[in-house]
Amino acid sequence: MKQIGFRLAWLAIGLALLEGSSWLLLRAAPDLGDRLALVARGLDPSARTRAAGRIGQQFADGKFTEEVVHPYLGFAMAPSEAALAGPLGLESLGLPGGGPLVRERRPDTVVMAVFGGSVAYYFGKGGGPERVFAGLQSLPAFAGKQLVVLNAAAISYKQPQSLMALAWLDALGAQLDLVVLLDGFNELNGPITEQIPAGVFPFFPGRWEQRVAKLDSATALRARIGEVAYLTERRAELGARFAGSLLSESRTATLLWALYDRRLERRVEAVRAELAESAAGAKLDYAAAGPPWPTADRVALYGDLADLWMRSSLEMRALAEAGGAQFFHFLQPNQHVPGTKPMEPDEIDIAIAGGERFAPIIATGYPFLRERGARLVERGVRFHDLTRVFEDTREPVYVDNIGHVGHRGNEIIADAIAAALRDDLGSAAHQEARGAGQ
């Protein structure tokens, strides 16, 4: 018994020394010691590496939404499980702004659908449609009715994605009353800064080559992609199991797990580096690049971009009116259009500094959009240029150097849209009344 006790004592001392040594090693190597805390919080220690290979959107609340290739819209947002479990709506259809898919027109309800890119998306999420509708209550056609908002805008969307979104909703049986399109920036910026330099067809969706690069890969490349997915999933599974077990109380067991986890992580990083190297040296195939655009002259390219923007608007008007809806198109404001907003130094620091790459594109391209907008009016489209909507506003409205606005900016835009709708719809109602009287 004494020998057993003596051996147990030495074993306890040995374990204590081993635990103490492991504790010292974990303290000396934060890369190892921090891993368990991160896993316990549901975080991946190599999240920075993984996030670099993801395509998605970081919203204001910090939520990251994965983008997936879509058969009609180019790309859409992967909806939440709750959205998929509920009734069919815009979120489950991949449009993050949301709203129900209204398939039956009701006399007491007005369905307003908003289309465009990120400025339109935040306008729809920030109460813009509701403020517009409040400004329409003076018209008899809207008095006493309730509003349903369908936010079909999405960050990075550009024509013809809005056209495709309207066509898709129409094909699904959506019943709309008002269709509001707010766009212009993405139609110029995306092709000029991203697609043309990458050798991608300028009218493909943004970052198209990144979205489809993995869909037509060689067998060896697909094997590497599968290895990354497997190792990443295994790391997450093993880490979660270890963090929830009694072994996590042992510094020695924690050290062994951390060393193994780091080994898996380094393998993932090595395979990702191989993938990046393969992608960098690979020529884009047709699925990613599309056909070459014949216009080489940069000024002529602006005209081509404006032409497609104009034709997409005409098609949206035709679709909307065929379905019994009224269509309105607005050219979004942008701080890089010269002379359109007085700014104090604080707003200049936010809205202008760092945006030098946007300024020449907007200064050159917006006159083309304005000219095409005048053609739209000639062809009966209710088009309105909002580029000067802030020319009498000294208070700050822009929240970045791209063109997004905050709450006050959205209010001003909403009031301008409401005024335009009142004029257009009031004039149309007056003409109809005169025609009926005659």
* Domain residue limits, the chain: 110-203+295-437
* Cα dihedral across residues 101, 106, 110, 115: positive or negative: positive
Greatest mean pLDDT range, 69-83, 235-249, 258-272: 69-83
Please state, in angstroms and rounded to a whole number, the distance separating the CA atoms of residues 436 and 430: 10
Q: Is the pLDDT of residue 4 over 90?
A: no
* pLDDT tops 80 at residue 433: no
Whether residue 389 is predicted with pLDDT greater than 80 in this model: the reply is: yes
Joined tokens for residue 49: 């590496």
The first and second tokens of residue 265, run together, are 């992580």
Instruction: Give residue 32's pLDDT.
Output: 52
pLDDT in tens, 151-209: 999 989 999 999 999 999 999 999 999 999 999 999 999 999 888 888 889 999 988 88
Mean pLDDT of the 277-301 span? 76
Tell me the CA end-to-end span of the chain in Å, nearest whole number: 117
Residue 45: pLDDT above 50?
no
**Residue 267: Cβ within 10 Å count:** 14
Query: What does the pLDDT average to over 53-65?
Result: 46
The mean pLDDT of 417-436, rounded to a whole number, is 71
Residue with tokens 């080489």: 296
Helix (H) or strand (E) run with residue 275 in it: helix 251-281
39: pLDDT strictly greater than 90? no
Quick one: pLDDT band at residue 280, thresholds 50, 70, 90? Answer: low
Residue 55 pLDDT: 45
Query: What is the reported pLDDT for 160?
Result: 97
The answer to whether residue 364 scores a pLDDT higher than 90 is yes
Residue 158 is predicted with a pLDDT of 97
Judged by average pLDDT, the poorest of 40-44, 214-218, 226-230, 248-252 is 40-44
How far apart are alpha carbons 165 and 116 in whole angstroms?
Answer: 10
Specify whether the CB–CB gap between 365 and 332 falls below 8 A. Answer: no
Q: What is the pLDDT of residue 34?
A: 53
Min mean pLDDT across 70-84, 170-184, 401-415 is at 70-84
- The confidence band for 366, taking pLDDT boundaries of 50, 70 and 90, is very high
Residue range 235-258, pLDDT digits in tens: 777 777 777 777 777 777 777 777
The residue-averaged pLDDT of 130-151 equals 94
Contact criterion met (CB below 8 Å) for 418 and 411: no
Read off the pLDDT of each residue in 209-223 and give the average, rounded to a whole number.
64
pLDDT of residue 220: 62
Please compute the mean of the pLDDT values over residues 303-331 and round it to a whole number.
97
pLDDT grade, residue 46 (50/70/90)?
Answer: very low
Round to whole Å and give the CA distance between 333 and 10: 77
Look at the chain and count its residues: 438
The predicted structure's pLDDT at residue 400: 87
More reliable by pLDDT, 256 or 385 = 385
Least confident of 10-19, 190-199, 298-307, 337-346: 10-19
Q: Average pLDDT in the 62-70 region?
A: 69
Q: Are 95 and 161 in contact (CB under 8 A)?
A: no
Res. 148 pLDDT band, cuts 50 70 90: very high
Homologous superfamily (CATH) of 110-203+295-437 is SGNH hydrolase (3.40.50.1110)
Band (pLDDT 50/70/90 cuts) for residue 11 is low
Instruction: Give me the helices (H) in 149-250, please.
Output: 161-171, 185-190, 196-198, 208-212, 219-243
- d(CA 385, CA 340) in angstroms, rounded, equals 12
pLDDT at 429: 52
What average pLDDT does range 334-342 have in this prediction?
Answer: 94
The dihedral sign for the CA sequence 263, 265, 266, 271: positive
Cβ(305)–Cβ(187) below 8 Å:
yes
For residues 400-412, give the mean pLDDT. Answer: 92
Identify which has the larger pLDDT, 260 or 337.
337
Mean pLDDT of the chain: 82
**What is the average per-residue pLDDT within 52-66?**
47
